[in-house]
């Protein structure tokens, strides 16, 4: 368990990656009480210097003894590193906040979005898991509606940027775009198909039922975060040629009818949500406007006329910031409060 202090020793695993760097930026912005910062990465990045709070910190190689004296350890380095080093961090006395999916199915590990289910943090035994980015954003938008009228069914189509595939995905989009604009052939490595000027309706490994493991994971994560096992969920995930930020087209069916203006009011009053919805003036959330923002933006709110109690809407969020790094820091903040 975390001991209350004025300041905390923080470790970031994957400190040189996109999410790790974003975590550092957010910790600075939110004036998180850091007494010491331990930046950890692979041996290839060890020795690199990163600025934080007015001084340069040296990145260290991640080893089994890296967590001595650490209060909280943020993990943003993938499944393999989380599986290997989180038990060592917990054994050393740290609380691990994990961005991988290694512990999502573990009933003893809470899956937390602080704007949605903060009380779940209290059940942790040294490990707290971050949901995937879509579950964080979609859970944030669905929670107030579920509390108000009850969810029966959720149908979601995601439009996810290449930044979720890391540096390789972003570089591939850039290189392919330049090549095509210069009438050259493109090389495809990071994705199954050409991503420049194209959408790929598959993210993850294909399962026997035709869904992917990423789509199945989102369904499970969403029910766990909302604490709503009976909600029916259907997901299609699409990779789109956008560098950063993701969008989701959402259709929901609720137990009782919710009028459009009331839905707008419920969403606008909820934490972590900005309602940006004036289609008559062509105002609705766009991925290009959402980078670096902390909130989930909701627009195109309208009645789903195909069912008795249906709503349709569009959400956009920064998948690196809101969909990962910020959620981790908010978990740490809530951990301190509790």
Looking at the fold, whether 236 and 296 belong to one and the same domain comes out as yes
Evaluate whether residue 236 is within a structural domain. yes
Mean pLDDT of 232-245: 97
Q: Give the span between the Cα atoms of 319 and 132, in whole angstroms.
A: 9
pLDDT value for 172:
97
* Three-class DSSP category at 50: strand
DSSP 138: H
pLDDT band at 218 (very low <50, low <70, confident <90, very high): very high
pLDDT value for 43:
85
Q: Specify the number of domains making up the chain.
A: 2
pLDDT value for 195:
98
CATH at 97 = 3.40.50.720
Looking at the fold, whether 183 and 261 belong to one and the same domain comes out as yes
Looking at the fold, whether 114 and 147 belong to one and the same domain comes out as no
Helix, strand and coil content of the chain, in percent to the nearest 5, comes to 35, 25, 40
Evaluate whether residue 256 is within a structural domain. yes
The model's pLDDT over 31-88, given as tens digits with 9 standing for 90+, comes to 999 999 999 998 888 889 999 988 899 999 999 999 999 999 999 999 999 999 999 9
Mean pLDDT of 259-288: 95
Q: What are phi and psi of 282, to 5 degrees?
A: 60, 35
Evaluate whether residue 217 is within a structural domain. yes
Is 1 a residue whose pLDDT tops 80? no
Evaluate whether residue 329 is within a structural domain. yes
Looking at the fold, whether 142 and 223 belong to one and the same domain comes out as yes
The model's pLDDT over 5-37, given as tens digits with 9 standing for 90+, comes to 899 999 999 999 999 999 999 999 999 999 999
Is 193 a residue whose pLDDT tops 90? yes
* Three-class DSSP category at 189: coil
Evaluate whether residue 307 is within a structural domain. yes
Q: Which domain holds residue 13?
A: 8-131+324-337
The model's pLDDT over 99-152, given as tens digits with 9 standing for 90+, comes to 999 999 898 999 999 999 999 999 999 999 999 999 999 999 999 999 999 999
* CA geometry: angle 164, 165, 169, nearest 5 deg: 120
pLDDT value for 47:
87
Contact by Cβ (8 Å): 285, 318: no
Q: What is the value of pTM for the model shown?
A: 0.94
Looking at the fold, whether 121 and 140 belong to one and the same domain comes out as no
pLDDT value for 5:
85
Looking at the fold, whether 315 and 211 belong to one and the same domain comes out as yes
pLDDT value for 329:
97
Looking at the fold, whether 14 and 80 belong to one and the same domain comes out as yes
Looking at the fold, whether 175 and 287 belong to one and the same domain comes out as yes
Looking at the fold, whether 176 and 293 belong to one and the same domain comes out as yes
- Encoded tokens for 9: 């020793």
Evaluate whether residue 3 is within a structural domain. no
Evaluate whether residue 2 is within a structural domain. no
pLDDT band at 260 (very low <50, low <70, confident <90, very high): very high
Looking at the fold, whether 274 and 165 belong to one and the same domain comes out as yes
pLDDT band at 279 (very low <50, low <70, confident <90, very high): confident
- Average model confidence (pLDDT) for the chain? 95
CATH at 236 = 3.30.360.10
- Encoded tokens for 331: 């978990």
Beginning with the edge strand found earlier in the chain, give each strand of the sheet holding 232-239 in spatial order.
232-239, 151-160, 246-254, 310-317, 296-303, 273-275
Q: Give the span between the Cα atoms of 330 and 118, in whole angstroms.
A: 10
Nearest to 162 by CA among 249, 239, 77, 248: 239
Evaluate whether residue 120 is within a structural domain. yes
Looking at the fold, whether 253 and 333 belong to one and the same domain comes out as no
Q: Give the span between the Cα atoms of 147 and 128, in whole angstroms.
A: 24
- Encoded tokens for 188: 């495809």
Looking at the fold, whether 158 and 307 belong to one and the same domain comes out as yes
Q: Residues of 54-91 as b/e, b for ≥16 C-beta within 10 angstroms?
A: eeebebbebeeebbeebbbbbbbbbeebbeebbebbbe
């Amino acid at each position: 368990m975390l001991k209350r202090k004025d300041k905390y020793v923080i470790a970031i695993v994957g400190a040189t990656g996109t999410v790790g760097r974003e975590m550092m930026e957010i910790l600075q912005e939110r004036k998180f009480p850091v007494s010491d910062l331990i930046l950890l990465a692979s041996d290839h990045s060890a020795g690199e210097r990163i600025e934080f709070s007015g001084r340069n910190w040296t990145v260290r190689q991640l080893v089994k003894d890296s967590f001595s004296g650490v209060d909280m350890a943020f993990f943003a380095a993938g499944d393999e590193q989380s599986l290997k080093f989180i038990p060592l961090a917990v054994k050393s006395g740290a609380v691990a906040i994990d961005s991988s999916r290694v512990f999502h199915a573990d009933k003893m590990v809470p899956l937390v979005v602080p704007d949605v289910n903060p009380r779940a943090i209290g059940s942790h035994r040294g490990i707290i898991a971050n949901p995937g980015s879509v579950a964080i954003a979609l859970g944030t938008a669905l929670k107030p509606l579920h509390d108000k009228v009850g969810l029966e069914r959720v149908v979601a189509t995601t439009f996810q940027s290449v930044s979720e595939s890391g540096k390789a995905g972003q570089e591939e989009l850039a290189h392919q775009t330049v090549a095509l604009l210069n009438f050259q052939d493109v090389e495809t490595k990071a994705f199954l198909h050409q991503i420049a000027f194209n959408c790929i309706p598959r993210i993850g490994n294909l399962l026997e039922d035709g869904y992917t493991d990423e789509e199945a994971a989102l369904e499970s994560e969403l029910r766990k975060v909302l604490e709503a096992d009976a909600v029916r969920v259907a997901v299609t995930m699409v990779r789109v040629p956008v560098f950063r930020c993701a969008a989701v087209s959402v259709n929901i069916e609720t137990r009782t009818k919710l009028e459009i203006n009331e839905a707008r009011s419920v969403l606008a009053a909820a934490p972590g949500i900005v309602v940006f919805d004036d289609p008559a003036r062509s105002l609705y959330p766009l991925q290009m406007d959402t980078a670096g923002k902390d909130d989930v933006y909701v627009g195109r709110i309208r009645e789903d006329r195909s069912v008795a109690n249906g709503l349709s809407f569009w959400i956009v969020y920064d998948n690196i910031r809101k969909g990962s790094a910020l959620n981790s820091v908010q978990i740490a903040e809530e951990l301190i409060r509790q």
